[in-house]
Amino acid sequence: SRVASWDLGLGESQVLSWVISHTGYEAIIDDLAARKAAKILQIPVRGTLAVIILAKQMGCIASAKQDLESLVQVGLRLSPAVLAQVIALAGE
């Protein structure tokens, strides 16, 4: 497949392959290599931070800051500057 040639992780490959076969959806991926592959393969992609901002804007979550801090506690790597910027973009 077009995705297999990129030698990505299993999860990233499956997500990109699924989006290729399901027009109208976006891949939710943070992995840099997978995002590069998606761009070249013209697969729409969004990252975790964008999903959190959108969820806050749509009223699906009460606090982007709280959810982001929870993700950082379980291993999401964000600089304090990026964390502050995302919280601001979420309107908090």
Looking at the structure, tell me whether residues 8 and 39 fall in a common domain: yes
pLDDT tens, residue by residue, 32-79: 999 999 999 999 999 999 999 999 999 999 999 999 999 999 999 999
Looking at the structure, tell me whether residues 13 and 24 fall in a common domain: yes
Looking at the structure, tell me whether residues 10 and 42 fall in a common domain: yes
Looking at the structure, tell me whether residues 40 and 61 fall in a common domain: no
Domain that holds residue 16: 4-46
pTM: 0.82
The count of structural domains within the chain is 2
In angstroms, the CA 62 to CA 68 distance is 12
Looking at the structure, tell me whether residues 29 and 52 fall in a common domain: no
Write b or e for each residue in 32-55: b if 16 or more Cβ atoms lie within 10 A of its Cβ, otherwise e: eebbebbeebebebbebbebbbee
Looking at the structure, tell me whether residues 52 and 42 fall in a common domain: no
Looking at the structure, tell me whether residues 42 and 23 fall in a common domain: yes
